[in-house]
Amino acid sequence: MDDLDREILSILRRDARTPYTEIADRVGTSEGTVRNRVERLVEDGVIERFTVATRTGNVKAMIEVSVDVNVDTAEVSDRIADWQEVDFVWQVSGEEDIVVVVDAADTDAVNGLITQARELEEVVGTKTRLILNERVG
Amino acid sequence: MDDLDREILSILRRDARTPYTEIADRVGTSEGTVRNRVERLVEDGVIERFTVATRTGNVKAMIEVSVDVNVDTAEVSDRIADWQEVDFVWQVSGEEDIVVVVDAADTDAVNGLITQARELEEVVGTKTRLILNERVG
DNA sequence: TTGAGGATTACGAAATTCGAAATTCGTCTT
DNA sequence: AAGACGAATTTCGAATTTCGTAATCCTCAA
C-alpha cells in the first residue's frame, strides 16, 4: 500500500468505472501497472468489491435472527444472502446469531422478508429494527 | 423500476464490473437493453455512483447504542459518523436508538470505539456484536 | 387499420481489457 | 564492478466490451 495504490483507490472510489488507461494517464504510469495494482488490491482484500451505491427511496431494516442450536449458521446465511432485497448477511456474536440488512421497496416487502425468515425451520425467532436514518462514515 | 431493473441492480451490487453482455445473458435480454436501463438508472439517481468497497481493517462490529430521552439522536449520529473506522450510523427503531457499524484494525480498536461511545454524556448504554462473517446479498 | 412514441435489438467501429513476453529496477553476492 | 535474481513495470497484439446509431418491435390511441 504505497501512495500510488492510494491514488488509484481514490479515483476508483469516486468512479469505479474509470478505465485503467485513464487512471494510468492521471497518475502517470502505464495501463498494465494500474491493472496489476488493482488486481493485487482485490487479492489482498483491500478492495472488497466493486459495487453501486443506490439511492432508492426504500425502507431499510435489520432483521436479527435466532437459529436453533445444532444448526449450520453459515449454511443458513448463504441461503438468506440469495434472497432478493438483501444487502448483507452477518453472522454475529451476542443474543441473536444472524443479522440480515435489507433494503426493500416498502414495509410490506420488509414484512415479507421477516415472514420468509420465520418460515425457515432452523429459525426460532426474529427481532426487527427499522433503519430510520443512515449516515455514511 | 420494474423487475428487470431490479435484477440488473442486484447483479451490479454484487459486482459492478460485470459486463453488460454477461448481465444480458443472465437476465435474458440484449446488451443494448441492459446499457439503456443502467444509463437510465444513473440518470434517475437510483444508481448514485459506481464505487469500490474497501476494507481498511479486519474486525467488524455492530455497536448498539442507547441514548437518554430528550437527546437529539440525529445530532449524536452525526458526531459518531465522523469517527474514524465508522462505516455506517443508523438511527433505528427498537430497544436501542443507534446502531454503529464499524470496521477496525483489531479488537482493541473496536474497544476504543465502544469506550468513545460510552463516554458521550448522551449515551446511557451500549451493546456490541462482533460480525463474525459477512455475506453480500 | 394506422401512426406515434418508446423500448429493444442488431451490428460495425472504437475503446478497453487481457495475456504474455520483454524490459527495467533494486538488491544481493561474488 | 559485474553478474544474477526476483519483483515490478512496460509493451503490444488479440479478445472482449462498450458505444453510436439505425432498424425493428410493441403498445396504445385515434
User: Where are chain B's structural domains?
Assistant: 1-42, 57-128
Q: Could A54 and B81 be called an inter-chain contact, meaning their C-beta atoms sit closer than 8 Å?
A: no
> Does the pLDDT of residue A136 top 70, yes or no?
no
Q: Are A43 and A97 in contact (CB under 8 A)?
A: no
Q: Please determine, looking at this structure, whether the domain spanning B57-128 carries the CATH number 3.30.70.920.
A: yes
**What mean pLDDT is reported for chain B?**
91
Q: What is the pLDDT of residue B92?
A: 95
Q: What is the pLDDT of residue A57?
A: 61
CATH number, span A1-42: 1.10.10.10
Q: Could A54 and B77 be called an inter-chain contact, meaning their C-beta atoms sit closer than 8 Å?
A: no
Sorting pLDDT into bands at 50, 70 and 90, what band is A84? Answer: confident
Q: How far away is chain A from the Cα of B35, in angstroms, using its nearest Cα?
A: 14
Whole-number distance in Å between B50 CA and C5 C1': 31
What is the number of other CB atoms lying within 10 angstroms of the CB of residue B32?
Answer: 10
Q: What is the pLDDT of residue B30?
A: 96
Whole-number distance in Å between B118 CA and D1 C1': 65
Q: What letters, b where the CB count within 10 A reaches 16 and e where it falls short, cover A8-22?
A: bbebbeeebeeebee
Q: What letters, b where the CB count within 10 A reaches 16 and e where it falls short, cover A55-81?
A: ebeebbbbbbbebeeebebeebbeebb
Which chain A residue is nearest to residue B76, measuring alpha carbons? A135
Q: Which three three-digit cell numbers place residue B52?
A: 469500490
Residues contacting residue B53 through CB under 8 Å, at least 6 positions apart: A47, A48, A49, A50, A51
Report the pLDDT averaged over residues B62-71: 94
Sorting pLDDT into bands at 50, 70 and 90, what band is A36? Answer: very high
Equal fold, A1-42 vs A57-128: no
Q: What is the pLDDT of residue B25?
A: 96
Q: What is the pLDDT of residue A51?
A: 94
Sorting pLDDT into bands at 50, 70 and 90, what band is B57? Answer: low
Q: What is the pLDDT of residue B134?
A: 84
Q: Are A87 and A101 in contact (CB under 8 A)?
A: yes
* A61 compared with A137, residue with greater pLDDT: A61
Q: Rounded to an integer, what distance in angstroms lies between the CA atom of residue B126 and that of residue A73?
A: 25
A20 CB inside 7 Å of strand C: yes
Q: Rounded to an integer, what distance in angstroms lies between the CA atom of residue B56 and that of residue B68?
A: 32
Q: Could B88 and A135 be called an inter-chain contact, meaning their C-beta atoms sit closer than 8 Å?
A: yes
